[in-house]
């Protein structure tokens, strides 16, 4: 237990609020890439060569937020408690995750887009699909998607709801289960969920995240949760694995359809 608490403390103090942190985003894009056909991978490879891999390229959108501040609002949607239907999301003038996803997907599919535009569009799309599967990216505007929902970890360390769901559950799970076992859990979820039909509408994925955010289990609504205990972390490991798996499957399908349209 001491090791787990120390592990959480280190990450709570040192990591920023990048969605799913690096681990989740890399898992989503690595698995989506593996599911692509060889011909689709050949389209992706030159577009991600500057970053080395698609998994690595999917982190770029977080890294450039300070330099390109206009992209900051592209990583989330915010809905008040009186509005729970993500299809009714009203994006502000500077954009939101749903509109940014569709805009970048169109640029990726456009045969007239130049190489750099397609490159960035692919990196954005990969990142945005990961973002929308994280429940706190469909949170409340008043608390900045859980960033102002203060929590305490079991060792007394201060955190917040967004941090917990952005990566602290993943880091806890990797420490408790081992990185390989956590990753295998994601892959098992992919194998199971691949058998299901999946919507191509980001609003549907956003609604799933919103519904999770509003569930009693998460304790987000009304700031009901005050302590993110080890029991809380344990209860939600599989949900995180499932959201990563769903993001990978859906990203694969979105890219497969986009590249087929270009062929």
pLDDT digits (tens, 9 = 90+) for 53-84: 999 999 999 999 999 999 999 999 999 999 99
Query: Is the predicted pLDDT of residue 11 greater than 50, yes or no?
Result: no
pLDDT at 204: 98
Q: Is the pLDDT of residue 169 over 80?
A: yes
**pTM for this one?**
0.91
18 pLDDT higher than 60: no
Separation in Å, CA 109 to CA 42, 118, 237, 254, 258: 16, 8, 35, 10, 5
pLDDT > 90: percent of the chain: 88
pLDDT (tens digit per residue) in 84-124: 999 999 898 889 999 999 999 999 999 999 999 999 999 99
229-263, pLDDT tens digit by residue?
A: 999 999 999 999 999 999 999 999 999 999 986 65
Q: For the chain, which domains are there? A: 2-262 (1.10.575.10)
Q: In the beta sheet, which residues pair with residue 50?
A: none
Which whole number is the average pLDDT over 150-160?
94
Backbone φ and ψ of 14, nearest 5°: -105, -20
Task: Report the pLDDT value the prediction gives residue 2, as an integer from 0 to 100.
Answer: 41
* Nearest C-alpha neighbor of 210 from the set 115, 122, 92, 80: 80
Label residue 12 exposed, middle or buried (CB < 10 Å: 0-12, 13-18, 19+). Answer: buried
pLDDT confidence of 16, banded at 50, 70, 90?
very low
CA–CA dist 229, 153 (Å, integer): 6
- Give the pLDDT score at 261: 63
Backbone dihedral angles phi then psi of residue 138, each to the nearest 5 degrees? -130, 50
173-194 pLDDT per residue, tens: 999 999 999 999 999 999 999 9
């Amino acid at each position: 237990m001491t090791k787990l608490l120390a592990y959480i403390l280190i990450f709570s103090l040192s990591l920023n609020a990048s969605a799913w942190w690096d681990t989740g985003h890399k898992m989503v894009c690595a698995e989506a890439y593996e599911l692509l056909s060889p011909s689709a991978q050949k389209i992706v490879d030159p577009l991600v060569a500057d970053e080395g891999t698609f998994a690595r390229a999917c982190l770029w959108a977080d890294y450039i937020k300070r330099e390109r501040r206009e992209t900051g609002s592209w990583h989330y949607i915010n809905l008040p408690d009186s509005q729970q239907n993500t299809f009714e999301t009203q994006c502000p003038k500077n954009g939101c995750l749903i509109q940014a996803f569709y805009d970048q997907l169109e640029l990726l599919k456009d045969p007239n887009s130049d190489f750099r535009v397609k490159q960035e569009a692919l990196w954005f799309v990969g990142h945005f699909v990961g973002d929308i599967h994280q429940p706190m990216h469909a949170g409340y505007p008043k608390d900045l998607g859980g960033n102002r929902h203060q929590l305490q970890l079991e060792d007394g360390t201060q955190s917040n709801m967004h941090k917990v769901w952005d990566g602290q559950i993943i880091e806890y799970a990797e420490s408790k289960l081992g990185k390989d076992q956590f990753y295998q859990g994601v892959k098992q979820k992919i194998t199971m969920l691949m058998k299901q039909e999946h919507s191509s509408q980001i609003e549907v994925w956003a609604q799933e995240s919103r519904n999770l955010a509003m569930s009693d289990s998460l304790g987000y609504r009304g700031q009901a949760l005050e302590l993110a205990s080890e029991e809380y972390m344990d209860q939600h490991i599989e949900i995180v694995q499932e959201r990563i798996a769903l993001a990978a499957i859906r990203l694969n399908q979105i890219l497969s359809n986009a590249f087929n349209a270009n062929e």
